[in-house]
A and B are shown apart, each in its own frame.
Chain A
Amino acid sequence: MTGAAKYTADFTAPGLLHASLLTSPHAHAKIKSIDLSEAEKCPGVRAIVIGQDIPVLTGTTVEDRPILALNKVRYFGEPIAVVVADSEHEAQSACQQINVTYELYPVVNSVHQALESKPILVHEQLMNYTQVQKIQPEANSNIANQIKVRKGDIDVGRDQSEVTMTADFSFPPSDHAAMETRSVRAELLPNGEVHIHTSSQGPFMVKELISRYFLIDEDKVTVHTPLVGGGFGGKAAVQLELIAFAASRAAGGKIVKLSNTRETDITGSPGHIGLEANVKLGATKGGKLTFAEIHYNFNAGAYVDEGSDITEIAGLNCTGPYKIDHVWCNSLCVYTNHPYATSFRGYGHGELTFPIERAMDLLAEKLRIDPIAFRLKNTIKPGDTTPSQTKLTKSNIGNVAKCLERVKTLINWDEGQTVNLSDRLIRTKGISCFWKSSITPTDATSGAILTFNKDGSINLSCGVVEIGQGTKTVLAQILAERLKIHESKIHVMMDVDTQTNPQHWKTVASSSVYMVGNAVLRAAEDAIQQLCQTASIVLRCEPGDVDVAEARAFLISNPDKYVSVKDIANGYKYTNGNSIGGTVIGRGNFIMKHLTSIDKETGKGTPASDWTVGAQAVEVEFDTKSYNYKLIHAVSVLDAGKVLHPKSARGQVTGAMSMGLSWATREGFSFDKNGIVLDNQFRTYKMLRYGENPTYLVDFIETPQIDAPYGARGLGEHGIIGMPAALANSLSTAAGVPLNQLPLVPEYIWEQKRGEASDSN
């Protein structure tokens, strides 16, 4: 707004060195040799690090990824070497003088190819990797993890069905494309302390991993995170931090800055997962779903990172928000020679929702039932079970049917799904339901600390990163509400510093308000108790006789008798100088409860604490001659539990809808036959721009989640989830052919209209 807001790359320091990455020009090749002799002679060069200097494998689920490529490269853009120099341009020039010789390997260029019998292997040592979490790789294959879901009896479900559908669906990997590229500064002090400044969604994870991979005591590592210029899941992965630390260490511990170029950010750092899916659904003639048989084959790219967890949650929530008694799903996490994937807004749910909601429309069409009526017959409710056989309650799931009814009104469904505008222009509508749960470690935890200033204002310290989602504003609001004071009296520390802020698992999964919000409420209770204790002495009563509100501690029976919070929060001083009490420090924490691990044969277990549900619609204006289209309306109705901050909630939802529409209309990597990403800059990797957006219609249903702060459910990611499916349903209706691949560019619609077989890549 004024230019004063500082992000990681905006800081500088005296003597700062600059690092630059050399990345792979090939998708799959043996590294025969790396010759650094010319590069080392370049002016300004202080150090060069290659994979062999740091031969450690990394990964949060399975340790399969070297910090810099070791022996071979597995994707286009993979970092091979880092050069440290006095200036950025010197580091960049020296990179170009590194001479790498390669022996090219055949490329695994799609999930389909990766799953062929006797495939080319992306990882030959798959079975020997250290598993951080229990996963199920398959020997001599590219399968890194497999989730099986077996609920009910699929044969019974098939027998009960009278009408069935089956279809294939797919989309390629794509990118988060946060406007700020990833950036790090690393420094190793002579006393062994490590300081990392990073644009990360997981500073506590960075601390843990730097400690683990470089064998440094965790108390020596401090990670600082200022404002982050967009994350969307992409900055929860830990990658550049490890390279920057190695670079600093090689340069004598001096402070080194490493910022991605846009090109490296798109392909070198992890992106959004791709998918090939097959869905079979069956129903009675009356439209009651009887079974779902689902194959999700995720394209995790060259390394697993979060891919195995995404695969897992997509399997466990595979059906979307529908009651289906007989479910069979195999969800595979598959290696390819594509850029690797990490968490992405929606975490597996936008991905599973596209095939499921397209399948629902295809089945409704076969049944000759209106798509909304068909969904309403089958929405999941309290008392039903999820595919992982978790029992749903009035608290842990919202009201899908109510969301759908509201969408129906907002999109004006009753005027007809297709409206003719002229001899070539038509308007069509498509809908989608969705659900989402977060998958967190069963012991994910958060803390909050409150301290009081002399003027009675409050400092709130927590480990949440501000990435534009406004969580810190909402936390201040939660605290203000509990203490009945104005929000302006609450100061939330914006930067995160792992040495002073209490632990927060990661700023992901729309879970910060739930986790930290609960911790904040407990910290408030703790502070109130301490304030009441001191106030009871001043007011000559029992602590239980006192309450705190509006910056006062007062007698419940007679609120006119009070003492100001500012006079007791740091000790109370009598007129003769005697003092009592002392500094009040409110402590609160939260840990996930009742989550269980998952049975590997059936998927049975409780992976999540809650499911946020919603329904969405997209209306397009479609040109039946050119197959071009315009986005006219996009609708989202979420069961938010409780809307804590209406303007911010709407902004999060419309922003996510925009991202979903951008993904569905135009985003997705194009690979050449050698696995090279052809669109690795914004000139070619297109995103939605001003004026291309539809008019957004957003509304909320409020079914409170009992154990959440004021009943509020997570909603930061959810607007994205149903957008691709709703758009595809709208365009399939408009074009009169099934459109089962993303992105939905006019050329693809034209190909389908011509009946041409299109490459599933």
Chain B
Amino acid sequence: MKKTIDFTVNNEQKSVQIRSADTLLITLREQLGLTGAKPGCENGDCGACTVLVDDQPMKSCLMLTAETANRSITTIEGLHDTPIQKAFLEHWGFQCGYCTSGFIMNCHALANIHPDANAYEIENWLQSNICRCTGYEEIKEAIMSVLKTKEAGTSG
């Protein structure tokens, strides 16, 4: 049984036919071709599928598309030359690149919502994502370079 949902994705109005059980991740990838959001665990544990829902980071595997009616979604494909994208490139914040879009979406939201985030807040936010390739050092350099918080904080 399919139903129609209207929402905004990367500032474009979209109308999709969905099953009630479809997650936002599935809809973005399979119906809208927005494959920047990656399935990593489909259980909310790894953050590779992170997108913004009304500017708040959300793991798209944990949200049903039905819940997003009339809301505004931003995916990695909706970001263009943002400071955090440049910072990830400049600081080598990625290797295989699979977790990168999720990290960038989360960092982008953090920089917008808490530009003065302290070390505890940064850690609290970024612990929702897993990177298996890097040692997190480069990701830390990237997020620190876009936040106003300039001291390195307490965590390594």
Query: Which residues of A line the B interface, CB within 8 A?
Result: 1-7, 9-10, 12, 89, 177-181, 227-232, 259, 261-262, 467-470, 631-632, 647-648, 651-652, 654-655, 657-659, 681-683, 687-691, 693-696
Contact = CB atoms under 8 A, between A and B. Distances in A.
B137 A696 contact: yes
Contact of B127 (A2, A689, A696): A689
B99 A179 contact: yes
Contacts of B137: 654, 693, 696
B49 to A, nearest CB: 11
Q: Which 6 A-B residue pairings sit nearest by Cβ, starting from the closest?
A: A3-B36, A468-B96, A229-B98, A468-B95, A658-B135, A682-B45
Interface in B120-146: 122-123, 126-127, 129-140
Contacts of B156: 631-632, 691, 693-695
Contacts of A689: 126-127, 129-130, 136
B89 interface: yes
Contacts of A658: 134-136
A360 to B, nearest CB: 25
A428 B138 CA distance: 26
B85 A1 contact: yes
A456 B88 CA distance: 31
B42 A3 contact: no
Contact of B97 (A5, A631, A648, A691): A5
Contacts of B30: 12
Interface in B100-114: 100-101, 104
Contacts, number: 152
A658 B77 CA distance: 29
Contact of B135 (A232, A262, A469, A655): A655
Main secondary structure of the interface of A (DSSP, over half): loop
Contacts of A259: 39
A179 B43 contact: no
Contact of A655 (B43, B76, B95, B122): B95
Majority DSSP secondary structure for residues of B touching A: loop
A191 B127 CA distance: 50
A662 to B, nearest CB: 8
Contact of A470 (B95, B123, B138): B95
Residue of A1, A2, A180 with most chain B CB atoms under a 10 A cut-off: A1
A487 B132 CA distance: 28
A68 to B, nearest CB: 23
14 contacts: A2-B36, A2-B79, A2-B85, A3-B35, A178-B132, A179-B40, A230-B133, A468-B94, A468-B95, A690-B136, A691-B127, A691-B156, A693-B156, A696-B135
Given A468-B97, A469-B95, A682-B46, A655 B133 contact: yes
A259 B25 CA distance: 15
Contacts of B29: 10
Nearest to A89: B21
Nearest to B119: A691
B48 interface: yes
Nearest to B36: A3
A647 B92 contact: yes
Contacts of A647: 92
A7 B79 CA distance: 20
B123 A181 contact: no
Nearest to A631: B156
A651 B95 contact: yes
